[in-house]
A = this chain, B = another copy of it.
Amino acid sequence: MKIRVGIIGLGTVGSGVLQLMEKHREFFFRDLGFDFEITVLCSRSRTRLDHAKTGKAAAGNPALTPAFLTQSPLELVSRPDVDVVLEVAGGEDAPKAWIESAFKHKKHVITANKALLAKHGKDLFPLAQKSGCFLLFEAAVGGGIPIIRTLQESFIANDIHGLACIINGTCNYILSEMTGKKLSFERALKAAQELGYAEADPSFDIEGTDSAHKVALLASLCYGKYVDYASMSVEGITTISAIDIQMAEEMGFAIKLLGIVSQDKTGNIQANVYPALLEKKHQLATVDGVLNAVFVKTSSVGPILLTGAGAGKLPTASSVIADLVSLARQLATGHPIAQGMGFFSADNRAELLPIGELETEFYLRLTAVDQPGVLAKVTAILGEEGISIRALMQKPEHDPEHVPVIFLTHATRNAKVSKALKRIDALDIIQAPTQVLRFYR
């Protein structure tokens, strides 16, 4: 069976797709019966198009020498010699128009684009279903980790009680470097940038936005409802300092940027992104460097962990091609079915519980003047707000002018802590905003 593929985007992932297709094409044909032909390539860059046409990948395999090259995605999706569109270009709003047009032309779409899906999935998934087209996206979350297929298919006989994930390699690398090499945030970020793990403008990663996009998709999958990333509480890692890492270490904890999704017994859903203190013996605590991991709490299987490369050329391309083969298997039957078509829509929206309703233990690091009476004032406020203190630590050696005072609380409703901190940070003995971290148990 011949399947004609058009690729939009010849950057890292696009060239990875060409590379893996070159390597595995013969196996797909011989063992699975799928004759994938890349008929159209689209890139903004004329140079990349020329290179793809004459480059190694194309030269070694006639089926990878596309008949048509274009700089227009809209032209690609409208061509009759394309059955499936691989959107690996990135962006948010422009790809939406391409994919809408692809569906209008009855093309199936595979995308690696989490930002697009987090923002426009609520419109694109229903449109896919209405058009009888697939919209597959394994590569959009967790790179090469098969978390989408696992949630959609393997855990079909499970309720998902919740999940916690390390889903942004940039942040995990920075925190791992801060921990392992005792670097400051700034130096660890610089190291990440030098290695290509962080962008020149890293804000999209380090402020938690990228994680939020992926967590919104995962939460949507867990509960079959549209989870709007814009209604999530999202914190990044920019406020984490060496002293926080050091204090966590001394207590036997690691600090990780986690995406956390949960559903309580009354059905309320939480989906948030924040840096959290994790016991070192927790399986997620040992996931270091650019690795990603998803820890899922299921009703039948219990807790399960998937760990691997969450980004990069070949891991992402591997998932794009797994989707392509999965789609081919559906198309081969002549009657593609609904799976992966319309899994959430704007009119089936999850109302997220605000993070203020969440109950967690807290790590509060106050920066106070070194005066008698500081502790009395702070503990009085915490007591008045009904927050129970589990431990208190001072690190006088750190900086005699600004003594870090660390409070650990028992599990407390987050709204109470926000209220208390407003009062505490307004005290004139407090010299900088209090650092607030949660524990993940």
Contacts and interface: CB of A to CB of B under 8 A. Distances in A.
Nearest to A339: B329
Interface in A170-201: none
A395 to B, nearest CB: 28
B302 A144 contact: yes
A280 to B, nearest CB: 10
Nearest to A320: B157
Contact of A300 (B20, B158, B300): B20
Interface string A332-349: 111111110000000000
Interface string A137-149: 0100001111001
A318 interface: yes
Interface of A: 20-21, 23-24, 28, 31-33, 138, 143-146, 149-150, 153-158, 224, 281, 283, 286, 298-309, 314-315, 317-319, 321-322, 325-326, 329-330, 332-339
Contacts of A306: 304-307
Given A144-B298, A302-B315, A335-B335, 16 more contacts: A20-B157, A20-B300, A31-B224, A144-B301, A146-B154, A153-B322, A156-B321, A157-B321, A283-B286, A283-B307, A298-B318, A300-B315, A301-B318, A302-B309, A304-B306, A304-B308
A272 to B, nearest CB: 24
Contacts of A337: 329, 332-333
Contacts of A145: 301, 304
A23 B318 CA distance: 35
A434 to B, nearest CB: 34
A322 B155 CA distance: 7
A59 B114 CA distance: 45
B301 A309 contact: yes
30 contacts: A21-B157, A24-B156, A31-B224, A144-B298, A144-B301, A144-B302, A144-B304, A145-B304, A149-B153, A153-B325, A153-B326, A155-B322, A156-B322, A156-B325, A157-B317, A158-B318, A300-B314, A301-B315, A301-B319, A302-B308, A302-B309, A302-B315, A303-B308, A303-B309, A304-B306, A304-B307, A305-B306, A306-B307, A333-B333, A333-B337
Contact of A307 (B24, B305, B333): B305
Nearest to A332: B337
Nearest to A286: B286
B157 A146 contact: no
Nearest to A144: B301
Contacts of A156: 24, 28, 32, 321-322, 325
A317 B24 CA distance: 34
Contacts of A326: 153
Which 8 residue pairs of A and B lie closest in terms of their CB atoms, listed nearest first?
A144-B301, A304-B308, A333-B333, A146-B154, A300-B318, A157-B321, A333-B335, A300-B314
A314 B329 contact: no
Contacts of A298: 144, 318
Nearest to A143: B301
